[in-house]
A and B are shown apart, each in its own frame.
Chain A
Amino acid sequence: MQFELKDVSFSYQPDAKEPKYAVHHVSFSVEKGEFLAIIGHTGSGKSTLIQFLDGLLKPTSGKVFFNGTEITAKGYQYSNLRRLVGLVFQYPEHQLFETTVLKDVCYGPKNMGLDKEEQQARAIRALKAVRFPEDSYEKSPFDLSGGEKRRVAIAGVLAMEPECLILDEPTAGLDPHGREDILSMCRELQGSGITVILVSHSMDDVAEFAERILVMDSGELKYDGAPKEVFRHVDALEGIGLSAPETVYLMRELKKRGYDVPEVVLNTEEAKEILLDIFKK
């Protein structure tokens, strides 16, 4: 098991008379190699939650385990954890700083004390994994498009060869093409054995790419299940500021009008087959 969270809570002022909790009594575990998405409105506790996984925040109460070791224990050394758990922040391209793409991606391995050859080898592997074009390795990262910059920033994290990659809103501000690129890259990374945890506001993206979805609301874990399970609760999701892919609404409407369609359909290809079956007579 990659992660296990046991009854985790977090408050910025735990000693207050009535402390407010950013995360309240949350428990879940993540298997190695899973593609997990965390959704919830702004302020629901998603970002707090992922910071536990990287040891950036320590819960006020509860325990967090990584590969069976308790990382919330006294005296735990975080440096190893942060190498194995790569965290990609929102707008990671703001953190690019080197003069060339290759140097920027080498920065992580360099700080791990690896020799120059190994740094380069890792950087190149990482750039290939994000499908960054080889002829642009020597370009300044600042001359790249938004989507390219973001891929370089993700490569910088991958170059540390983490077991798990956590991405906070990796598609914000990208055009549809860029979004698709980043998400299918995540799927490929998962295919190579990396655990992928995605925090997202885009219901379409998580419905299509994640195997499992955690829904956070006011610091509590409201749902935990496969996309088809979670989007069944479309009314409850709207009640907490979320939504569902449009296909869910379409099917619900058709069902209401007496057609025999499944309750939850998450993508247009699947919807197409179902609708052709019914309407092409």
Chain B
Amino acid sequence: MNIIEILNLIHEYKEYDDEGNSSGTVRAVDNVTLEVKEGDFVAILGHNGSGKSTLAKHVNGLLMPTAGSVMLLGRSVPEADPIWTVRRDAGMIFQNPDNQIIGASVEEDVAFGPENMGVPQEELADRVTEALSKAGMSAFRMSSPNALSGGQKQRVAIAGMLAMKPRVLLMDEPTAMLDPSGRKEVLKTVHELNREEGITVVLITHYMEEAADADRVIVMNEGKLIMNGTPREVFSRVEELRACKLTVPAMTELAYELKQEGLDLPDGILNWKELANALCNLN
């Protein structure tokens, strides 16, 4: 079943000059059609300004289409009334963890969403317990968010989403501000949620290595969706990716360069383990 269906989506921003007069439009998303199956882990790549965030913000109704349609769980997002029913089904995590935490304690922060939905008090505590446990943050329930590391804060933000029982997690560069261990812990959590809870994940990232672990990779360029395939398929197209200011994972690039020099390596190698194996198989 397709949990997200986007058909011929167009989104235009109006531009204004210094006097506040409209001076034209910019097409941030240009005729994009995309289907995401329930339970998929999809990564969206694209340079800054390629339209990937704009696209993702249509899925939970933060932005409304200029033209085209967006369906979430079989319902039209722009027509959803009230709109927050959509946001409960598709939660969004942003880049900066400090901008999304409001509670004085972790527990309070995680309870904020469901409390606003009117979840009764008895159920609230259970939801918080469950969400914290799934995000691996149970031990920090009573902590002040200030005392947490970046990766832990992002996991609190994820727990805050989980407490609303979403079906889709939309993540807009959730690891951009984190150190390597923070990145690892957030991605591990998200992959577990995807695998064990069946939550659909849409991950926007600039880290090619993160995209290599997704089921599917989508590449945006100048508002258009230009590639859609498995990481192996997408990262085999090294030259095309370079042309739209992207790179491939470091090991994919190395394998590609070696292949250009005549080594008989398979396409779309994604990490050092695969490259080591492929090299050893040569002799």
Contact = CB atoms under 8 A, between A and B. Distances in A.
Interface of A: 40-43, 90, 99, 140, 143, 145-147, 169, 172-179, 201, 203-204, 241-243, 245-247, 249-250, 253-254, 257, 268, 271-272, 275-276, 279-280
A90 B250 CA distance: 26
Contact of B180 (A179, A203, A249): A203
A245 to B, nearest CB: 7
A172 B176 contact: yes
Contact of B263 (A40, A173, A271, A276): A276
B206 A176 contact: yes
A246 B272 contact: yes
Contacts of B180: 41, 201, 203, 241-243
Contacts of B261: 272, 276, 280
Contacts of B250: 204, 245-247, 268
Contacts of A201: 178-180
Interface of B: 15, 18, 46-49, 95, 149-151, 173, 176-182, 206, 208-209, 245-247, 249-251, 253-254, 257-258, 261-263, 271-273, 275-276, 279-280, 282-283
B237 to A, nearest CB: 15
Contacts, number: 111
A268 B245 CA distance: 18
B148 to A, nearest CB: 9
A145 B49 contact: yes
A41 B206 contact: no
Contact of A279 (B245, B249, B263): B263
Nearest to A203: B180
Given A41-B149, A41-B179, A279-B282, A178 B247 contact: no
Given A41-B149, A272-B257, A272-B258, A172 B177 contact: yes
Nearest to A275: B258
A38 B225 CA distance: 38
A204 B206 CA distance: 14
21 contacts: A40-B179, A41-B180, A90-B177, A145-B49, A146-B48, A172-B177, A176-B206, A176-B245, A176-B246, A204-B250, A241-B180, A241-B182, A242-B179, A247-B254, A250-B276, A272-B257, A272-B261, A276-B263, A279-B263, A279-B279, A279-B283
A145 B282 contact: no
Contact of B150 (A42, A143, A242, A280): A42
Contact of A241 (B179, B246, B253, B273): B179
Given A246-B250, A250-B251, A275-B258, A41 B208 contact: no
Contact of B182 (A42, A175, A203): A42
A175 B45 CA distance: 9
B251 A280 contact: no
Nearest to B241: A176
B47 A173 contact: no
A146 B49 contact: yes
A203 B184 CA distance: 14
A145 B282 CA distance: 45
A145 B246 CA distance: 16
A41 B149 CA distance: 9
Contacts of B245: 175-177
A139 to B, nearest CB: 11
B48 A276 contact: no
